[in-house]
């Protein structure tokens, strides 16, 4: 086992339960807009939202879509798919409400606080996130994740997103860490795992998000994702990290 000094955590889907917080928010919005959404099956909408959200996030990560467009089109496309005849104003209001409510949701991944408490004092801990700078602080407040981390590195600080080497380099500079003494913990295969690997950091791949995606894929008759690289550690829950730290 390596002696790490620095742990770098992803935020969304790794500590902050993006999926559950999204679900809770959308359920609230379905109530608020029940006249417009009356005939829509929530789970169908939720699945289509995830499909489009993942797609536009990949474009955003690669610099092929700006965040204003991302925030709008994920809902526009999901509404279209489930047969809501939405005008621009409705999509815009829905999207703005979502951005207002979702970051204030408190749910964390199972074991998040337990692992952070366990690691606290043993390691220097930091966040590296591609999430929007204006909402990541709200999420950390709502989920009581403040206080554990020395540096919260946001891609908007340095102009490039994970998996780009530039953000890992920026993180090293900010924290005074070296890649050799650092571990990246994240749920996104490309952004967190391949990004950290290519930068020379060890990686812990939290598979919860991918497991859910695979369940959906299989449900739709597609094959589960396969990877031709083995991360340093693969964990199906955050508490498993304790075995390695």
Binding residues for Mg ion, per CB under 5 A?
Answer: 10, 12-13, 187-188
**In angstroms, what is the minimal distance from the CB of 11 to Mg ion?**
7
Judged by beta carbon, residue 55 or residue 80, the one nearer Mg ion is 55
Judged by beta carbon, residue 17 or residue 188, the one nearer Mg ion is 188
**In angstroms, what is the minimal distance from the CB of 31 to Mg ion?**
28
Residue, CB closest to Mg ion: 13
Q: What is the 3-state secondary structure (H, E, C) of the chain?
A: CCCCCEEEECCECCCECHHHHHHHHHHHHHHHCHHHHCCCCHHHHHHHHHHHHHHHHHHHHCCCCCHHHHHHHHHHHHHHHCCCCCCHHHHHHHHHHHHHHHHHCCCECCCHHHHHHHHECCEEEEEEECCCHHHHHHHHHHCCCCCCCCEEEEHHHHCCCCCCHHHHHHHHHHHCCCHHHEEEEECCHHHHHHHHHHHCCEEEEECHHHHHHHHHHHHCCCCCCCCCCCCCEEECCHHHHHHCC
Judged by beta carbon, residue 93 or residue 214, the one nearer Mg ion is 214
Judged by beta carbon, residue 94 or residue 170, the one nearer Mg ion is 170
**In angstroms, what is the minimal distance from the CB of 14 to Mg ion?**
5
Judged by beta carbon, residue 95 or residue 208, the one nearer Mg ion is 208
**In angstroms, what is the minimal distance from the CB of 13 to Mg ion?**
4
């Amino acid at each position: 086992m390596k002696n790490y000094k620095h742990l770098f955590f992803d935020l969304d889907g790794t500590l902050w339960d993006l999926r559950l917080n999204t679900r809770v928010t959308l359920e609230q919005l379905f109530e608020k807009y029940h006249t417009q959404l009356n005939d829509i099956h929530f789970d169908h909408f939720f699945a289509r939202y995830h499909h489009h959200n993942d797609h536009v996030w990949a474009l955003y990560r690669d610099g092929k879509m700006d965040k204003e467009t991302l925030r709008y089109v994920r809902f526009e496309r999901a509404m279209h798919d489930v047969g809501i005849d939405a005008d621009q104003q409705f999509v815009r209001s829905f999207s703005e409400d979502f951005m207002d409510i979702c970051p204030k949701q408190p749910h964390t991944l199972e074991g998040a606080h337990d692992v952070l408490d366990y690691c606290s004092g043993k390691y220097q801990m930091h966040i590296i996130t591609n999430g929007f700078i204006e909402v990541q602080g709200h999420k950390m407040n709502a989920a009581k994740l403040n206080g554990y981390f020395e540096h919260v590195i946001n891609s908007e600080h340095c102009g490039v997103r994970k998996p780009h080497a530039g953000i890992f380099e920026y993180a090293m500079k900010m924290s005074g860490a070296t890649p050799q003494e650092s571990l990246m913990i994240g749920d996104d295969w490309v952004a967190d795992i391949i990004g950290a690997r290519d930068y020379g950091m060890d990686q812990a791949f939290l598979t919860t998000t991918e497991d859910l995606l695979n369940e959906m894929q299989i449900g739709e008759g597609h094959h589960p994702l396969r990877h031709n690289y083995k991360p340093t550690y693969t964990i199906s829950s955050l508490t498993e990290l304790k075995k390695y730290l």
